[in-house]
Structure 1
Amino acid sequence: MNIKVIAFDADDTLWVNEPYFRQTEEQFCSLLAEYASQHELERELLKIEIHNLGLYGYGIKGFILSMIEAAMKITQNTLSIEVVAQIMDLGKQMLNQPIELLDGVEDVLQSLKNKYRLVVATKGDLLDQERKLKKSGLNHYFHHIEIMSEKDDANYKKLIKHLDIQPDELLMVGNSLKSDIVPVLNIGGYGVHVPYHITWAHEQIEHSIDNERFKNVESIKEILEFL
């Protein structure tokens, strides 16, 4: 390998994220429990979230709007303004959550920072991701921050062009096979998958990956052994 740049996903790779969405989803279902079962509410919310990705992108703000839309649909537009306010408060609570770094993250970044150019390659709301990175205290480890609207082959190609490297000089580290690993392998880079115990349904893939440039690890600390 001739790795020059190591890119890290942010949410659920560097810090905790998805559990806050799950917790808020449960609270959303409790608010609307008189209208439908939890399973039905979760299914409807997910369907609307995915439908809205092209409009709102990824992140908490889009999630708030999707919760309100789902609630309106489920209640057949009889949703009270009080419940709308409660849903908005749930979203604000998510935006104000403290940043909880995952185990081993800072040790790994400290070990790698003088050997490779380190970057963050994430997706989501620009303001929210910038806020989380600042609150994390990890800014000083990274040469570049890339916040994408979508993690696909084209945007990873733009990233390596910006970094002035070849595809096989990039290693991407992340918890999502769909967003962090597959597109990078497609363009000729390396991928290390660090699973997180909770993964959003939209980020899951059903097929396995058989590629010599791919490695699955149990902990982010194993990256040091891989390199």
Structure 2
Amino acid sequence: MASSQRNTVILVALLTIALLGALYYYVVLPKTERVASLQSTITTLTATRDTALADIAAFDAKDLDAGTLARLQKQVPKERGVEYILRDLEDIEMLTRSRIENISFSEYDEPMLERKLGLTETTEEELAAQLANETVEEEEPLYNAALAEAPEGLQIITYQVELLTPDYKTLRTFIREVEGLERIIKIDVVQLSQPGEEVKFAEVVDYTVSASLQLTTFFYNE
């Protein structure tokens, strides 16, 4: 009888030990490993964050060199510089053997903070559509929403250029030359039409393409 009880106690003890072992192996140990893994991840992320913050602080503390500052001021000057735009357009006119019939411009007094305007160049698809006798405009109205990331004081001038060119290839070259200028200039709209007969037959150069271009440039008014 005593031997039977002793065996029962031993069996219960063994089962208890086995149950505790299984509980530790399948429940406690995975949670412990998960906690250790999370702590390691937190440590790594903290180190990455500290490195990024240090890099940002170093960048903010570093002054722009004279060359970089001069390049940025040419791209977005601190004054309107209308005369320089007109001079550049005249140079491109001579280079491409085109003829500018008329230039007018409108200045917007409201800062860019009150408008939305994409700064990307004309894509090949957009330009192909424009040269296929289509008028391509922005998907949204040009100045219809806030551009919150624009710095305060950034303003725009919009130019309307009436242009005559010998062919579509020359028009494409004119557009690329304008977009290649140091100062940032965006071509918003290209609208094509046929030049009048008096133009086609009265000139030495046969101007077969008439285009109306809307250009937008920027300046920073402190």
TM-score normalised by the chain length of structure 1: 0.24
